[in-house]
Structure 1
């Protein structure tokens, strides 16, 4: 080992040295450490496994090797070879683009990948691997069973190397994404490549379909959502059969799956029995009014599904879409009422819990029915300080009911009803209700379509109420003079309201 280390002092090209399974001790290993101290040493890997070398010396050597590896593009790649050869389960994505790898190193990389069972993504673009490297990767594709995505663009690969990759794909069933770059394959060869990749994607989709069907049948408690791309009618039939007894799944998304009325028939039967699925997307399929009518019939009695998307099915009429939307909307309302009936926040508001000072239901669907429940609870409460019911699908009726509940609330200082569905009617109702309120100092009505009439009501609110120092509202359709006057009154209020400023 000492003699070899001395000889390597004159070498300026060697990067890897494998001496595992010998009788090297600390004395010989130290010679390699001394060699690595020289900044001109190019070694990036020294393998001394199964020798009699202490951990202390190995650590010193590894620090110097890491310095060399990090100092060049190839050095950064060198460490990956060891992880590939050891089949490191943590190495799943390999990005070595633009690292000056060349055809020889790419051949070694391909050989290491042939036996690897964890890497799923490789980007080796812009490395000048040429046809030699492409042929090596073609051989790798015949053996590897885990790789899914391979990028070989900008590598000076000609039709010869491209043909090697194409031929290998006939024997590979896992790669679903492969990029060779423009001009590598002819028009017919490129079409053949796309067909092979589509075949692999379809095969994986069927594997996923069988996997999901089994888990549904077993009532797997962790399977609450399914999202597939190429299920088709046969796939939907399989899933629907498993859904008959399933009590866990809540979301089923099958957008653009070439599903027709034939598949919908099986889903309709499943939805008659299933009591847990809440969201179903059949967006962008080939369903007609006949299939939509089957679902409409089922939705007359199904009280669970709150979202059913049949858009972009060109042969489904707008009339049927509207009828289905009304039924799912009714289910959403009923679900909201049931949920709020046992809501901890509502119960605590009604019980006037002094520790409950903040309620935030941002992005929770309430609708007017939910707003009514909260309004009723607020009338019994004297401790709440902050109420956020934004993005809750509250309409004009809900806004009016809430306005009557908060108009004289003794402790509420911050109210957010932003991005709801009410118009100038709801905005005006809130503005009128808060005219004599002496507590609220922050009001957020952003995204609510108040327009000129709603903004005028808010302007009049600020004329009466000097406590509100922060107001957010939708300025769409509001004259500049009204906006300026509102800003002026908010500045006036801020001067009077020292507690808000502090």
Structure 2
């Protein structure tokens, strides 16, 4: 008997012999190989024969076994980086015809000219490819220009993600690519992710990039960090085309070309005040003009209000490498009552032991933060000890990487005290990952105490409110109003108690 379980149920059939069962199973396996993932193995064999390349059985095994098991739609060139570069050509060529894979990626692997040419063929012919990720692939200006031509040849391209980070495309290459993106009628409505970080965009020849960004588009993520591009020029284009959808903007280590003595361009202010979807802004390492720094105190005050706002949409805040020193204290104090932030990066601010103490106080009462990045803050062994003591009382923080730079300096000052603090921090974080049962019980007891205390404090105040007007003619306080207040206080306590049980049970 053969039983096959599938998404709609179980199918069973009786066959004459076990040999027949084995034959049917083998046939099903062959059919699955042709179907999933997209018949890659058969296509790969044909392409190898057509192009005259040797057929590598390990490629077939990897795709049919590992890729199929993981149900991945990403063809990662790194998985085959141990092969000769020429062996990568037929693997990539399959994507011209394959309908299974939607993503082609390569990271930290220098691609040969032949491999790049094959990638361009796929881009020019595939209607199924949606994501192209070529990070640190040794690409130069001519590749960007050829990529522009490939996109122009494919009116049916479905690319929504282009990641060309850490290459040498330069402004000329990016300008050519942007021109093609603008000319393609589908791109403005389909491209949602564009990463050009790590490419030198210092020149003035970026008019086509600005023109593309100025067109109404669907970009939700734009990363031009570490490119030396002009921040104020970029904002002028973003104001015209990216107000509706852009949610993540990374401007770190860019250049503000504003000249001293002139007002900040209106487009700069207009973009940040008019953007409708912006949820993440990264500007670390960007040298802002003195005119902008004059408003730093007001910016920090506004950040505090946003952090403390119960309805704040802010979930992640990075102040990395801002060198705020003691000015960071105002932010740290606000973290204690924060109800929205789950991740904070305060590394590179030189806040010292005083800042560590303020952070420790915040961590003792904060229950929302899950990740804190805090290296390069000149924290001594005592500051590390303060953090360790605070984490003993924090059961919700999950990720707080060891501050390597600060720890290395602290070890020189007091090795025993530093090692003890770091070990405690690691142990408490491990504890927070293991179970939440005791946390829920502790939180319930804590909240019970808060409710009881609050009710006990509230009731006398309610009694006092109205004072003599509630006292009867004979001076007795036993009247309907007092009885009603006592009843209401009891009901409030019961309702809050039940709600807390629900919150804790479901981890709300």
Shorter-chain TM-score bucket reads 0.3 to 0.5
Look at both structures and tell me which one has the larger radius of gyration over its CA atoms. Answer: 1
Question: How does the TM-score come out when normalised to structure 1?
Answer: 0.35
